[in-house]
Structure 1
């Protein structure tokens, strides 16, 4: 029987998950809701620690996220950039992201970024 791994918990992570499951998902354009981008956002919440920071422990964050949502590291990096453009993530330094509980992300900016690149949305 598989063991359950505990999810990271904390005020920011829990708030971010609640926003993603509720108002943010409803506000997303349909192409984002039906793509792996939404899966990647849920995976981001699993990667983040209790202080909302995402650390990769020696691996690149895109590699870790790509493995978590079954996509290539290049596509995962595009998802991270798209989420940062929307305002759901904050990039403090290049490659170091944190969850952001912005009340109204600009999901159209994320969609525009994803459709301007390779077609693996």
Structure 2
């Protein structure tokens, strides 16, 4: 199947299993070492774990989604915001609203953009 079909066609099944399949089989193998050594990869697995059937990640118990993910990934809130912004830059999640993130299984994540975001000096605009 051409790569264009993988990008443009909707997922054949529920989003979290498709996301996990790409994460474990394809993305992890192509990620730069800096992403693998950081907690970025762990946060992607937590995002998968917290997603509903259509790939939306919402806060549990009505709290803040970033704080909820930080607790789940054992990260500081500031680091979670940086990793989420890097994941948005890579194209593997989308921020739908302040409290809703969406998994986006993508055939070609932009890991370079994620690395650039994580290695750049922190700014006040690190919200994804």
With the shorter chain as reference, the TM-score category is: 0.7 to 0.9
- Cα deviation code 1:60-89 (max 9, x no counterpart): 111111111111111111111110110000
1:62 to 63, 66, 71: 66
CA RMSD of aligned residues (A): 1.4
Q: Structure 1 pair 102/35, CA: closer, same or farther in 2 (3 Å)?
A: same
- What is the match of residue 29 of structure 1? 32
Unmatched runs of 5 consecutive residues or more in structure 1 = 1-9
Shift of 1:93: 2.7
Matches within 5 A, 1:85-104: 85-104=89-108
- What is the match of residue 108 of structure 1? 112
Do the aligned partners of 1:84 and 1:91 also contact (CA within 8 Å) in 2? yes
Shift of 1:117: 3.6
Q: Structure 1 pair 117/46, CA: closer, same or farther in 2 (3 Å)?
A: farther
Give the secondary-structure state (helix, strand or coil) at the position aligned to 1:32: helix
1:77 to 78, 81, 84: 81
Aligned length: 109
1:18 to 15, 18, 21: 21
Q: Return the alpha-carbon distance in structure 1 between the equivalents of residues 115 and 99 of structure 2.
A: 20
Q: Return the alpha-carbon distance in structure 1 between the equivalents of residues 120 and 49 of structure 2.
A: 27
Q: Return the alpha-carbon distance in structure 2 between the equivalents of residues 96 and 75 of structure 1.
A: 18
Give the secondary-structure state (helix, strand or coil) at the position aligned to 1:91: strand
